[in-house]
Amino acid sequence: NAGVMQNPRHLVRRRGQEARLRCSPVKGHSHVYWYRQLPEEGLKFMVYLQKENIIDESGMPKERFSAEFPKEGPSILRIQQVVRGDSAAYFCASSAVGVSATNEKLFFGSGTQLSVL
Amino acid sequence: EDQVTQSPEALRLQEGESSSLNCSYTVSGLRGLFWYRQDPGKGPEFLFTLYSAGEEKEKERLKATLTKKESFLHITAPKPEDSATYLCAVRAMEYGNKLVFGAGTILRVKS
């Protein structure tokens, strides 16, 4: 009964490289969220996806960042041309129901720690 | 601006010393207040959801309560294994699809 799986756990990139973060939601969950956690700060919403659709990307920078959740396979958060300020822990969460459901419960993965040199 | 404030930032307790953590929010259209526990190097682990003022939920040594402007996480007779960062998060009409998190309270329980 696997929970949310994220990989890699740690990712080191040099400035200008691309970072690809993967998230496999809980089996049967069709709602996926990405959050970023900076040191000494709370988790910040980035994007909300439902199978093959981006529902809300209001928390994601318009440049260099993109996310997808294809029909088959994991959700991917892609950061192009990384900069030092992108260094953070990136968490993925999934749920079986949408945000308007009263029994909504988000399950989080263990995160990917991105370090940009 | 999103406003979910947790206090204190850090709390040190002796084993068995009960206390409370606070989460205050300024939204008017609350749709749910969530409490999570986060251990170092791990993702947040769900504890409770509260939906309306006056609601209370309990799990082992933890009890969460909700008023119109804040929530409390009461820890009764804590043990060292309760040491973690406790996060609260708010879902509200004005936040749309976002779950807005507070910065957390770091709890350390010494034996």
Residues of B in contact with A55 (CB under 8 A): 97
| Separation in Å, CA of B102 to nearest CA in chain A | 6
Interface check for A5 against chain B (CB to CB < 8 A): the answer is: no
| Separation in Å, CA of A26 to nearest CA in chain B | 14
Residue A98 pLDDT: 77
Residue B93 pLDDT: 87
CA neighbor of A29 nearest in space, from A9, A45, A5: A5
Interface check for B103 against chain A (CB to CB < 8 A): the answer is: yes
Mean per-residue pLDDT, B22-31:
91
Contact: B99, A110; criterion CB under 8 Å: no
**Strand, helix or coil for residue A107:** strand
Output the CA–CA distances (angstroms, integers) from residue B68 to A75, B33, B40, in the order listed: 36, 11, 31
Mean per-residue pLDDT, A1-30:
94
Residue B2 pLDDT: 62
Burial of A33 (0-12, 13-18, 19+ CB in 10 A): buried
Q: Is residue B16 scored above 60 in pLDDT? A: yes
Residue A43 Rama label (left phi>0; alpha psi -120 to 50; beta): beta
Residue A109 pLDDT: 96
Q: Is residue A7 scored above 90 in pLDDT? A: yes
> Residues with Cβ < 8 Å from A59, sequence gap 6 or more?
A44, A45, A46, A47, B98
Q: Is residue A51 scored above 90 in pLDDT? A: no
pLDDT band at residue A85, thresholds of 50, 70 and 90?
very high
